[in-house]
Amino acid sequence: MSSKRLLGIGVAVACALALGSGTAAAGTITSPNDQLRSFVCQKALDPPARAVSVQAVMRPLPGTSKMQMKFQLMRQIKPHMRFVAVRGKGLGNWISPTDPTLGQQAGDVWILTHPVVNLAAPATYKFKVAFKWIGAQGQTLGTDTQTSPACYQPELRADLLVRSLSITPITSGPSAGQWAYVAEVANRGLTGAGPVQVQFSSGTGAPMSATVAWVGAKSSVRQRFVAAPCTAGTTLTVTVDPNQSIDEYDFANNALTMPCPAAPTG
Residue 10's pLDDT is 53
Residue 205's pLDDT is 78
Q: H/E/C letters for each residue in the chain? A: CCCCCEEEEECCEEECCCCCCCCCCCCCECCCCEEEEEEEEECCCCHHHCEEEEEEEECCCCCCCEEEEEEEEEEECCCCCCCEECCECCCCCEECCCCCCCCCCCCCEEEEEEEEECCCCCEEEEEEEEEEEECCCCCEEEEEEEECCCEEECCCCECEEEEEEEEEECCCCCCCCCEEEEEEEEECCCCCECCEEEEEECCCCCCEEEEECCECCCEEEEEEEEECCCCCCCEEEEEECCCCCCCECCCCCCEEEEECCCCCCC
On the CB side of 147, CA atoms within 13 Å amount to 8
Residues 6+ apart with CB under 8 A from 206: none
The reported pTM is 0.79
Beta bridge partners of residue 158, listed in sequence order? 248
Class of domain 6-153: mainly beta
Class of domain 160-259: mainly beta
| pLDDT tens over the chain, length 266 residues | 334 566 655 544 433 332 322 332 323 334 689 999 999 999 999 999 999 999 999 999 999 999 999 999 999 999 999 999 999 989 999 999 999 999 999 999 999 999 999 999 999 999 999 999 999 999 999 999 999 999 999 999 999 999 999 999 999 999 999 999 999 999 999 999 999 999 999 977 789 999 999 999 999 999 999 999 999 889 999 999 999 999 999 999 999 999 998 777 66
Q: Say how far apart CA 40 and CA 116 lie, in whole Å.
A: 10
Residue 264's pLDDT is 74
* Cis preceding-peptide flag for 242 (omega within 30 of 0): no
Report domain extents, the chain.
6-153, 160-259
Residue 13's pLDDT is 41
